[in-house]
Structure 1
Amino acid sequence: MSVDSHPRTPPSPVSPSPGREEPPAGAPYRDAALPVDVRVEDLLSRMTLEEKAGQLFHTMVTIGEGGRLAGPVPAFGMAGTEQMVREQHLSHFNLVGDVTSAREAAEWHNRLQALALGTRLGIPVTVSSDPRNAFASNPGTAARAGALSQWPEPLGLAAVRDPDLVRRAADAARQEYLALGIRCALHPQVDLATEYRWSRIGQTFGEDAKLTGELVAAYIEGFQGPRLGPASVATMTKHFPGGGPQKDGEDPHFAYGKEQVYPGGNFEHHLEPFIAAIAAGTPQIMPYYGMPVGTDLEEVAFGFNRQVLTGLLRERLGFDGVVCTDWGLITDAEVFGQPLPARAWGVEHLTPLERVARALHAGADQFGGETRTDLVLELVRSGSVPERRIDESVRRVLRLKFTLGLFDDPFVDVEAAESAVGRADLCLAGFEAQAASVTVLTNRPAHAEDEPTRPVLPLNPGVRVYLEGLDAAVVAHDAVPVASPEEADVALLRLEAPYEPRPGGFEAHFHAGSLEYSPEELERILRIARTVPTVVDVHLDRPAVLPEIAEVVAALVATFGVGDAALWEVLTGRAAARGRLPFDLPRSTAAVAASRSDVPFDTADPLFRFGDGLVG
């Protein structure tokens, strides 16, 4: 079938960009029959310094209205898409925002690839994405599922402890990503949840390094298949060398959380999931923002740390893939109206130009969330950085593009995308995985006089139920929603894990601080539980302190990304809970503060232990 008649045909082709002579149609890099390395070297030899510099930046992009290319987006500090592709030669973009229409997203993707095809060398775009098949909605770390199938968060997959389920979940996401043209997953996140106050725990596989290593291998296989190729979505494993042990649990997106600490001397332990990911074939790794404190390493952020990126990752662990920094290490920005300084921890005194030089020297290949190609050009033209150093990184980046088949078939089939994304079988599998991940921690008789063999769960048909945080329409077909606890046979409360709200349009999305409910909220929950037998479900995006609640309620349930309908299936006994805790649950925030941030299972006398769960 000719390109002109294929449904992948790009809309509105554009004219080649001016500059050096356009390469001939028969240039070796355009020949799919040649080995990848031959194609890479041929293309590299034809590139201007400006075109090379563009390959070193991996920034954000959004879908314009109606699937068109977007203009500038001030909320994220983004320039217009055409400017970034035509003028700055960028070809790596992180798609932000929800995908609500697969057709529009696929049409946008083809317009973007057509724009890239019209440049002098026709280098195709690699579209990447943060996780978008679960429930997290922090715009700086994930997107809502939207039109895609919806699965538990990685913590929920870890709760089921089934590598095959993880592989199937990743493969489902792979199919939908491919249909939309997303060829790079900015995940998995394999940090260990050893500091319970940290706000990024929700997308990890929990506290145990061995389990995380097993599941990340399955995750990477699900996205990439047995071998990286045209049917793969390339993973970018993060956050090297392990972003869990943050001082006081604060996140290094912000200056007050820049220190990463190892009071237990347990640095090596946090490398284990990355060793598993490298063995599984992850072609990209992202270092975190934090700077190590109190170790033998230089106290500068990992993205600027040569001991970490070159000495540890490249030389000791033998990784030769793409190293892409986390977003925004070079320039200050404003995100959702909140000023956000560059996360140049330990090198804040350096200019943006000097920071770029420092990161390149450390071993980084790409700068996440940045577009400062001008700084790379200045460094090379001044002789501060040799062009051969730029070539090293460009080789790695181009090799991955060729391996993924982007040069040979960059477009997607719009009709196929519309039918593949949110396909019924994928949505059903995601729903079943949600139900399986439900973790029942306690299940007692509804009343003291009840038989011990008749716990409150499963709920009886026709039960009168007082609801908080759950859609009444979900339960109405086999229960009777009532307006108050006093009218109910049972109360069902769906709660978010406690946290201390932070200010700012961006910072407020990071749940950090105390793991305990306020005294007022705790008393409100306990009052309901003393009035009527109560089932409490807590969405654990990080561990929570729940001893008083666990003592009083009839049933305590933990979930890690589960919709109302899937939870109701479990509570009524139509689906079996298979979840077990992926971390300990502590008795107090004070116990967490007294523990060592880098050591797993280190809090004194936890309320529930890793692996606890009444499996149905």
Structure 2
Amino acid sequence: MTDTINTTPDAAATAPVDPTYRDATLSTDERVENLLGQMTLEEKAGLFFQTMITMTQDGELSQGDPTFGLPANEVFVIDKGMNHFNVMGSAPTPELMATWHNALQTLAATTRLGIPVTISTDPRHSFSDNPLAGMMAGPFSSWPESIGLAAIRDEDVVEQFGDIARQEYLAVGIRLALHPQIDLATEPRWGRQVATFGEDPELTSALGAAYIRGFQGETLGSDSVSTMTKHFPGGGPQMDGEDAHFAYGREQVYPGDQFDLHLKPFEAAFEAGTSQIMPYYGMPVGTEHEEVGFGFNKSVITGLLRERFGFDGIVCTDWGLISDSEIMGQPFPARAWGVEHLTPRERMLKIIEAGVDQFGGEAIPEMLIELVRSGDVSEARLDESARRLLREKFVLGLFDAPLVDVEKAGRVVGSAEFRAAGEAAQRASITVLTNTASDAGTPALPLARGLKLYVEGIDADVAAEYGTVVETPAEADAAVIRVQAPFDVRETFFENFFHQGSLDFTDEAIAHVREIAAAVPTVLDVHLDRPAILTPIIDAPVAVVANYGANARALLDVLTGAAAAKGKLPFDLPSSMAAVEASREDVPFDTKDPLFRFGHGLTV
């Protein structure tokens, strides 16, 4: 073994290119083998890395983003030979997004083999977003979060969402969705359950499959957006609900012995044909599997995923398992849980040996090249994963039509039809938890239009469309207050994008709601990105409703009866933090005497 890298180019690098792989009349396997046979080690290594890339606001190639330590687009594509990227941010218009995409594909076409770029994205369609776990809807149609789709409990709506998102992604050149997230949200404190379908295995399985069908169709093809379903084998049972992005949340635990239950949604995803899988950061504790992060875990990736379930699609790690980095100026160590003692080179080797095809959030092809040249990884092992990665590019039609129609992007993305569908889903997800009757027997909801309204958390101009907005509760006929589910403020800016910790409202927040409710009939709307402990305030408002990403008009349409209340809780609402702390992280519906059960939701 040597530490010296042989920089002599492969003979293939100077050989004439055989364009047979561009012949669309050949089978996909023939095209893959022709191209793979011409690739240098360096070109193969470039396939294995998928990381963040910046999009400009003017459609031109980006010169990089120093805030996130990202270089110019040319560095990734030309210098590093990479062609899989998770695009950050958004341009002001879909036309500019499409123009940037075409510029990037044109750049990729100048490389020796002209391998097209695959652009991926985190979720972009939610009305409310978590800036580093999902992207702003921007010009796209706006829908509730996935937990809100679960509140609608309708496979057809979820498949419709997937189909609309597919069309919008295609229009701007996005060909890979880094979702759905089908983890079971069995730990009420977990900060990432907003992007799940809740804690019920059957509902999650059905909706996850519908989501995949919407994006991919019945089979993956040139009109599909590939789905990277996550996080195998289920990321929900985080110890004490702490997220595995951070060292204090690295452990996944199974006190109820329910490891296999968390696999059920993935069985449905495989049946629906998901093209890719992402394992989570967490390391299983107290199971038959090695206590290392799932991306390093051979018995999970090869044993469970490849052999037990027969999955032969692409497996990409979650972001940043190998290299330390900085986020927003703060040191952010690699999420190498259980293998922190290994060097980055050793971590990469362990991931390859586990059976993974691609390294998420990394841009170090030179390290993989050295592993091959030193003899630690065979080129045949690289070819195994390279075939999967190339095959998907061919199946998606990227070699045959890499560019998109800029004008069409403007017509498709955020069309009136698509926006209306998203807003209808926002309204349908609103969940009425309580609706108290007056002494005369009249329920508080629906509210009459034209009332004097005191509002908090709602734009006064929007509220004025439904009534007369007043300055104080004393002047009002009714109050409508929107609040967020509580969470603990953590040490760093980045940590606070992940809402974790206690589900209890502060004493000040409780007192504030009760004071307003004592002065005027009050409707409390809570954004449930996680369950919230409503016990101390549930009796004060005349009505309590939940949303999961819905604009003020969607809410007020339901409150005034312009739209029917249809939403059902996608998880239990615990009665106390003591009940949460006593529950088992891997067991659904395990808090004692919940305030409201899964499926609760009143009609109005």
TM superposition score normalised by structure 1: 0.95
Letter in 1 for 2:573: L
> What is residue 228 of structure 1 aligned with on the other side?
220
Give the structure 2 partner of residue 530 of structure 1. Answer: 518
Q: Deviations over 1:49-90 (max 9, x none)?
A: 000000000100111241111122222221211011001110
Deviations along 1:77-120, one digit per CA (max 9) or x if unpaired, are: 21211011001110000011134311111000000000001100
Residue among 103, 108, 129 paired with 1:111: 103
Residue pairs, 1:2-81, within 5 angstroms: 20-21=13-14, 23-24=16-17, 27-81=19-73
**Alpha-carbon distance in 1 for matches of 2:409, 2:54:** 18
Tell me if 1:274 matches 2:262.
no
Q: Distance in 2 between matches of 1:564 and 1:100?
A: 23
2:300 counterpart of 1:308: yes
Most deviating of 505-514 and 131-140? 131-140
Q: Which residue of 1 aligns with 2:129?
A: 137
CA RMSD, 1 decimal: 1.2
Q: Do 1:261 and 1:597's aligned partners in 2 also have CA atoms closer than 8 Å?
A: yes
Residue matched to 1:146: 138
Aligned to 1:378: 370
Residue 391 of structure 1 corresponds to which residue in structure 2? 383
Give the 5 Å matches for 1:43-442.
Answer: 43-442=35-434
Q: Are residue 563 (structure 1) and residue 556 (structure 2) matched?
A: no
For residue 516 of structure 1, the aligned residue among 504, 513, 517 is: 504
Q: Confirm or deny: 8 A CA contact 1:580 1:615 kept in the other structure.
A: no
In the alignment, what sits opposite 1:584?
572
Q: CA offsets, 1:166-217, max 9 Å, x none?
A: 0101111001000000000000000011001000000000010100110111
CA shift, 1:227, in A, is 1.3
Task: Work out whether 1:540 is the aligned partner of 2:519.
Answer: no
Q: Which whole-Å CA distance do the structure 1 matches of 2:576 and 2:279 have between them?
A: 31
Is 1:611 matched up with 2:599? Answer: yes
Give the deviation of 1:419 after TM superposition. 1.2
**How much has 1:276 moved relative to structure 2?**
0.5
Contact 2:128 2:144 in 1 (8 A): no
Letter in 2 for 1:544: A
Deviations 1:266-300 (A, max 9, x none): 00000000110011000100000000011111100
User: What is the one-letter code of the residue matched to 1:522?
Assistant: I
Code of the residue aligned with 2:255 in structure 1: it is P
Instruction: Give SS of 2:586's match.
Output: coil
Partner SS for 1:396 = helix
Q: 1:73, 1:79 within 8 Å by CA — same for their partners in 2?
A: yes
1:490 aligns with one of 466, 470, 478: 478
After superposition, the C-alpha distances for 1:518-574 in whole angstroms (9 at most, x for unaligned) are 111111111111111110000000101001221111001011111111111111100
Q: What secondary structure, in the 3-state scheme, does the structure 2 residue paired with 1:466 have?
A: strand
SS state at 1:76 partner: coil
CA distance in 2, matches of 1:225, 1:566: 30
Give, in angstroms, the shift of residue 444 of structure 1: 1.0
- The 3-state SS of whatever aligns with 2:14 is coil
Contact 1:22–1:121 (CA<8 Å) still a contact in 2? Answer: no
Q: Specify the alignment match of 1:593 in structure 2.
A: 581
Q: Structure 1 vs Structure 2: percent identity of aligned residues? A: 59
Q: Give, as a single letter, the amino acid of the residue that structure 2 aligns with 1:423.
A: S
In 1: Cα distance, 2:145 partner to 2:598 partner: 17
Q: Is the 8 Å Cα contact of residues 96 and 139 (structure 1) preserved in structure 2? A: no
Aligned to 2:449: 461
**Correspondent of 1:480 among 468, 472, 486:** 468
SS at match of 2:564: coil
**What residue identity is the alignment partner of 2:558?**
V
Q: Does 1:501 align with 2:489?
A: yes
**Separation in structure 2 between the aligned mates of residue 71 and residue 589 of structure 1, nearest angstrom:** 48
Please tell me whether the aligned partners of residues 57 and 91 of structure 2 are also in contact (alpha carbons under 8 angstroms): no
Q: Give secondary structure in 1 for the equivalent of 2:265.
A: helix
Change (3 A) 1:160 1:299: same
| CA-to-aligned-CA distance 1:367-403 (integer Å, 9 cap, x gap) | 0010011110110000011111111111110011100
What do residues 148-175 of structure 1 show as CA deviations (whole Å, max 9, x unaligned)? 0001111111111100000101111001
Residue equivalent to 1:10: none
Give how far 1:509 is off: 0.8
Letter in 1 for 2:88: V
Amino acid of the structure 2 residue aligned with 1:96:
M
How far apart are the structure 1 equivalents of 2:329 and 2:492?
Answer: 8
Which letter does structure 1 place at the counterpart of 2:520? V
Between 92-101 and 599-608, the greater mean CA deviation after superposition: 92-101
Unaligned runs of 5+ in 2: 1-10
Amino acid in the other structure paired with 2:594: P
Looking at structure 2, the residues matched to 147 and 391 of structure 1 have their Cα atoms a distance apart, in angstroms, of: 39
CA distance in 1, matches of 2:472, 2:550: 25
Alpha-carbon distance in structure 1 between the residues aligned to 2:185 and 2:138: 28
8 Å CA contact 1:97, 1:139 repeated in 2: no
Match of 1:9 in 2: none
C-alpha distance in 1 between matches for 2:57 and 2:196: 33
Greater mean deviation of Cα atoms: 66-75 or 567-576: 66-75
Structure 1 counterpart SS, 2:67: helix
TM-score, normalization by structure 2: 0.97
Paired residues of 1:135 and 1:152 also in contact (CA < 8 A): yes
The structural deviation recorded for 1:19 is: 8.2
Q: Distance in 2 between matches of 1:150 and 1:22?
A: 50
Question: Distance between the aligned counterparts of 1:172 and 1:319, measured in 2?
Answer: 27
Offset of 1:309 from its aligned partner? 0.3
Q: What SS class does the counterpart of residue 551 from structure 1 fall into?
A: coil
Q: 1:505 to 1:478 in 2, by over 3 A?
A: closer
* CA distance in 1 between partners of 2:194 and 2:467 (Å): 31
